[in-house]
């Protein structure tokens, strides 16, 4: 028996990276998975987003655990998409009682006043408003099911501090933490716990891209991940350049499980000492 046996978990941004890790760890602990992803690129970004092939690989991995799987192509920028994805999940598995609000993007890196309005707005649309739309879609059926539950926001150390060059991303993550804290109070009467996991950089394409490498190594014309590794390490007390997606997923599983039954309203860093440096 896994720690989440009999649970139904919804994960946004599920097709690859952190989302894939969340799906797999939740399934390994016994949850059936409703996996949501837009599966489309975003013209505002310097890196490609997940594909249908990525989602198929996540389905293969979850399938090997023996747990149920439902993939929904839905964009967190659309309330209609999110409402439909939740409805499909409930129809397939019954009430959703574990929610991993994971979908997120990172964009422009530079002075706040030089950023295009469209770029700033797009990060807020996905990271903050997308989180709110997910909640708006899933919470009513959680309340109606009357069996409690757990909501985990995948945030960032930049939801707890700011650094130069990432104002839109940091603003979106600070806003997400504010949303989580309000929901903590609003949903406590329904025994729905709300928490945040705040990792440092995670070894996924969100940081493994040319734009990020250039941000850390502006002295090089075409920096690689190897060129940027020491700069990434300098952010941490522990001798690692980043954490792995499974490290964040392990925190999600804990917060979703009964082991955390009285934990709500927290922001848990998975940060290799980033916030203490």
Position 162 pLDDT exceeds 80: yes
**CA dist., res. 64 & res. 90, Å (int):** 22
pTM, rounded to two decimals: 0.95
Asked if the structure places residue 234 within a domain, the reply is: no
pLDDT at position 138 over 80: yes
The pLDDT, as a whole number, for residue 109 is 84
Residue 231 lies in a domain: no
Tally of domains within the chain: 1
Average pLDDT over the chain, rounded to whole?
A: 96
Residue 222 lies in a domain: no
Task: Identify the pLDDT of residue 186.
Answer: 98
Examine residue 167 and state whether it is found in any structural domain, yes or no.
Answer: yes
What's the average model confidence in pLDDT over 75-100? 98
List the catalytic residue out of 47, 108, 169, 262: 169
* CATH number for the domain that contains residue 162: 3.40.50.720
Q: At what angle do helices 130-145 and 167-187 cross, to 10 degrees?
A: 10
pLDDT score recorded for residue 43: 80
Q: Torsion over CA of 20, 26, 31 and 32, rounded to 10 degrees?
A: 0
Examine residue 224 and state whether it is found in any structural domain, yes or no. Answer: no
pLDDT at residue 1 above 80? no
Q: Dump pLDDT digits (tens) for 204-229.
A: 988 888 888 888 899 999 999 999 99
Please indicate whether residue 106 or residue 175 has the higher confidence score (pLDDT): 175
Determine, yes or no, domain membership for 226.
no
**For residues 234-252, average pLDDT:** 97
Cα separation, 129 vs 137, whole angstroms:
12
Tokens of 139: 């919470």
Residue 196 lies in a domain: yes
Whole-number pLDDT of residue 48: 86
Q: Is 169 a catalytic residue?
A: yes
pLDDT at 167: 95
Q: What is the per-residue pLDDT across 16-60, written as a single tens digit (0 to 9) for each?
A: 999 999 999 999 999 999 999 999 988 888 788 999 999 999 999
CA distance 185 to 180: 9
Nearest to 277 by CA among 222, 226, 238: 238
Q: Which residue has the tokens 């490498």?
A: 213
Confidence of residue 89 (pLDDT cuts 50, 70, 90): very high
Q: What is the pLDDT at residue 42?
A: 87
Residue range(s) defining the domain that contains residue 81: 8-201+244-276
Instruction: Please report whether residue 229 resides in a domain.
Output: no
Report how far Cα 226 is from the mean position of its chain's Cα atoms.
25
């Amino acid at each position: 028996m896994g720690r989440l046996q009999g649970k139904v978990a919804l994960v946004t941004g599920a097709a690859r990276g952190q989302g894939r890790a969340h799906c797999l760890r939740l399934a390994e602990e016994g949850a059936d998975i409703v996996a949501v992803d837009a599966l489309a690129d975003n013209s505002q970004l310097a890196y490609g987003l997940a594909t249908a092939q990525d989602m198929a690989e996540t389905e293969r991995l979850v399938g090997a655990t023996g747990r149920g799987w439902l993939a929904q192509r839905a964009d967190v920028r659309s309330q209609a998409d999110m409402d439909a994805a939740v409805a499909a999940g409930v129809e397939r598995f019954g009430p959703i009682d574990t929610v991993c609000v994971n979908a997120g993007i990172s964009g422009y890196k530079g002075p706040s006043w030089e950023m295009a309005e469209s770029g700033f707005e797009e990060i807020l649309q996905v990271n903050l408003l997308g989180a709110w739309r997910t909640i708006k879609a899933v919470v009513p059926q959680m309340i109606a099911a009357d069996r409690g539950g757990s909501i985990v926001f995948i945030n960032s150390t930049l939801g707890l501090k700011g650094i130069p060059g990432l104002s839109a991303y940091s603003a979106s993550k600070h806003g997400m933490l504010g949303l989580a804290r309000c929901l903590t109070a609003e949903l406590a009467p329904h025994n729905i716990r709300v928490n945040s996991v705040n990792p440092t950089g995670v070894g996924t394409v969100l940081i493994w891209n040319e734009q990020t490498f250039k941000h850390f190594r502006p002295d090089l014309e075409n920096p690689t991940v190897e060129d940027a590794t020491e700069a990434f390490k300098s952010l941490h007390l522990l001798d690692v350049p980043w954490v792995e997606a499974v490290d964040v997923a392990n925190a999600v599983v804990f917060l979703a499980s009964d082991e955390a039954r009285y934990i709500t309203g927290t922001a848990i860093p998975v940060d290799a000492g980033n916030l203490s440096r």
